[in-house]
Amino acid sequence: MKKLALTALAFSTLMITSCGGEEKKEDKKKENKEVKNDEGKEEVETPKEVAMTEMDLSEHGYPLTIQVPEGATFEKGNYNDLIKTADGKFAITVEKLDWSKDEALGEAKKNDVNKLKEVLEETDNGYFIQTEVMGKDDFHMYMSFPAEGEDLIIFQNEKGAMRTKAEATTMFNSLKSIKQK
């Protein structure tokens, strides 16, 4: 009788734990604004409206302006510079380098770890792509502008942080707002 009671207790504990785990997984997807509809297809909720402001990059050595979320800051780095928000949901690196859009996209297509799933948008000087790394979707962007000599001014998403499609779209729209002074 004790065996039967212990077995029933273990089974009910297992059922309660597994249901709770599923709930947390669903909550996490909702926080990331990516949910599945009734047909099981992934949908992305419309991102919250982000208040944007113009940042003049000429005082940092780049003769450009860019629309960034209010409160974003510019940080000078050793190898590249960073435009970011305090919450980290917006982070774009800036650097001078001789690396064209075609070279960058070619490398993305060859990457066998962060695998290219889809080119979401391509412009004359940039791209926005969806990749998959370890079974999870990730998004990357690249935009370049002429600089002195052979170099280009390259804008990319900060590496290492995975963002939702809504967050990445805000960043790519910011890159598309760049204007030369």
Average pLDDT along the chain: 82
Which pLDDT tens digit goes with each residue over 30-62?
A: 344 455 455 555 555 555 678 999 999 999 999
Maximum C-alpha span of the chain: 85
Domain boundaries, the chain: 2-44, 52-180
Classify strands 91-97 and 179-180 as parallel, antiparallel or unpaired. unpaired
Claim: this prediction has a pTM higher than 0.85: no
β-bridge mates for residue 152, sequence order: 97, 146
Cross-strand partners of 36: 42
Record: fold of 52-180: Protein Transport Mog1p; Chain A (3.40.1000)
